[in-house]
Amino acid sequence: MATPIKRIEKEFLLKVIYDENIPIMYLRDRSEFIFNMIKSTKEELSFKSSRPVPGLKAKKKIDLIFDYRGQVISFAAEVLTVKDDIITTAIPESLYKNLDRSYSRVQTPSDLSVHFTFLGDRYSLTYPKVREYSQCELNDFMLSLNPVNLSNLIDQMASWIKGFANGYKLIIFKDVKPTSIEELLMAETGKAFYLPSTYGSLPAEDPYPKGRLITEEIFKRYLESTGVDISFVNEASDRFIKAKLDNGVFSDLWVPILFQEYIIGYVHIWINSQDKLPFDHSVIDTLYQYGTVLANSLEINGYFENGKVKNESFEGKVMDISASGLLFVNPNNTISAYLMPNIELALKLITPRRTVNTNARIVRKFKDSAQGYFGVRFLDMAPEDMRFLFEYIYGKTFNDDNAGFITGQV
């Protein structure tokens, strides 16, 4: 992941660039410009370009990279003035190392157009919606199950649950809406409510990299949002857990069933006898997988058919591009609502000489008051298309020397 460089090291590197006359690369319109720093003050930097940069104007932000002892470092700086081959910029806010992009981004070529299409069917449903599209990897056993036979799947899951729990419920939010605290928390967070033991507390931390569990902190924040005074939150949390114990529940687990960006229901299992071990993470993992298979089965059996959305290609304004991905803007609120992290798209990159077809995954999303910005990473691009795209956007032959500098630290 790209690491911001601390202030003292940033000041040192900016001084080194000047003292050692380290060349800085700026890529624009498939052309490479080499900048050399000729002046540095506390407020601004001045560079002399290897040649004038066509169309470069004040107030534009430019992305620059340089190599310092084998470490590729990048930064963005706002242009203050341009006069012939002399460019003055503001001091960059941050320098970055350990770049998380596979290749450096450059301004989008003017003769490139990109068309986007969602991969697979899309739906507009009335179920609670999460902020991030969820994908669950299935093990070999889950992949072997027949998703066409929904009732058989439910029977198999119930049989498995009996080995770990005393009881269970399968709830789909078609005719019912979330009402209990556990349901409302799942609907809001997209995470599982996991109470290993009612003699203890909710998990202090979530061990899952992408986050699957409602932690104690999340639960207490929720209580505050419902009007519980902060000074009574701990007491309210303890009472909530004790009520479960008083009702004879020793271990409790509620796992949401996720379909695309929707929570369509959940599986609730519990233990009310002392002869069973508390639920562990393997039980959580398996229930998530069963939930994924159930959601796939519901889709196959036409459960969501009335909410299917026509899948048409759409255009996005590409802000910048690299050989590994691009950043685009979409002002269409209807489409933007479906563009979530982990969603996969089919892309058609159209250039005067060649059209490149590839798939991509949304890895970043942010928005301002007017539109959404989406960073996507290309997936499984054909080698010959990768070579063409590299040479098209960078204006360089694809070889180890050029790729090595432009890629930086991956």
CATH classification at residue 198 = 3.30.450.40
170 plus 291 within the same structural domain: yes
The three-class DSSP label of residue 16 is helix
272 plus 226 within the same structural domain: yes
DSSP collapsed to 3 states, 299-318: HHCCCCHHHEECCCCEECEE
Residue 61 placed within a domain: yes
Per-residue pLDDT tens for 130-164? 877 767 778 888 888 888 999 999 999 999 999 99
Residue 408: pLDDT band (50, 70, 90) is very low
Residue 238 placed within a domain: yes
296 plus 316 within the same structural domain: no
d(CA 52, CA 303): 61
DSSP character string of 28-41: ETTEEEEEEEEEE-
Work out whether the CA dihedral 172, 174, 179, 181 comes out positive or negative. positive
d(CA 274, CA 251): 10
Residue 399: pLDDT band (50, 70, 90) is low
Q: Which domain holds residue 189?
A: 140-306
The three-class DSSP label of residue 205 is coil
Of residues 406 and 398, more confidence is placed in 398
H-run or E-run covering 144: helix 140-144
* pTM, entire model: 0.68
The three-class DSSP label of residue 324 is coil
d(CA 403, CA 386): 12
What would the mean pLDDT of 173-185 be, rounded to a whole number?
Answer: 91
Q: Tokens 């997209």 belong to which residue?
A: 190
What would the mean pLDDT of 196-213 be, rounded to a whole number?
Answer: 92
The three-class DSSP label of residue 170 is strand
212 plus 173 within the same structural domain: yes
Q: How far is CA 355 from each of CA 24, 113, 349, 350, rounded to the nearest angstrom?
A: 32, 10, 6, 4
250 plus 342 within the same structural domain: no
292 plus 269 within the same structural domain: yes
271 plus 340 within the same structural domain: no
Residue 216 placed within a domain: yes
Residue 133 placed within a domain: no
d(CA 402, CA 124): 45
Number of domains in the chain: 3
Residue 178 placed within a domain: yes
Per-residue pLDDT tens for 306-339? 998 888 888 788 888 888 888 898 876 678 778 8
What would the mean pLDDT of 107-134 be, rounded to a whole number?
Answer: 85
d(CA 9, CA 271): 55
What would the mean pLDDT of 12-39 be, rounded to a whole number?
Answer: 86
156 plus 273 within the same structural domain: yes
Lowest-pLDDT choice from 90-94, 345-349, 368-372: 368-372
CATH number of the structural domain spanning residue 371: 2.40.10.220
To 10 degrees, the CA torsion angle through 166, 172, 178, 184? 70
Of residues 26 and 45, more confidence is placed in 45
Nearest in space to 336 (alpha carbons), one of 308, 364, 374: 374
At 28 the pLDDT is: 78
Nearest in space to 80 (alpha carbons), one of 65, 107, 108, 60: 60
Residue 51: pLDDT band (50, 70, 90) is confident
At 409 the pLDDT is: 32
At 183 the pLDDT is: 96
At 339 the pLDDT is: 86
pLDDT above 70 for 98:
no
Contact, 24 vs 17, CB < 8 A? yes
83 plus 166 within the same structural domain: no
Nearest in space to 223 (alpha carbons), one of 177, 179, 184: 184
Task: Determine if residue 391 is left, alpha or beta; phi over 0 gives left, psi from -120 to 50 gives alpha, anything else beta.
Answer: alpha
pLDDT above 60 for 1:
no
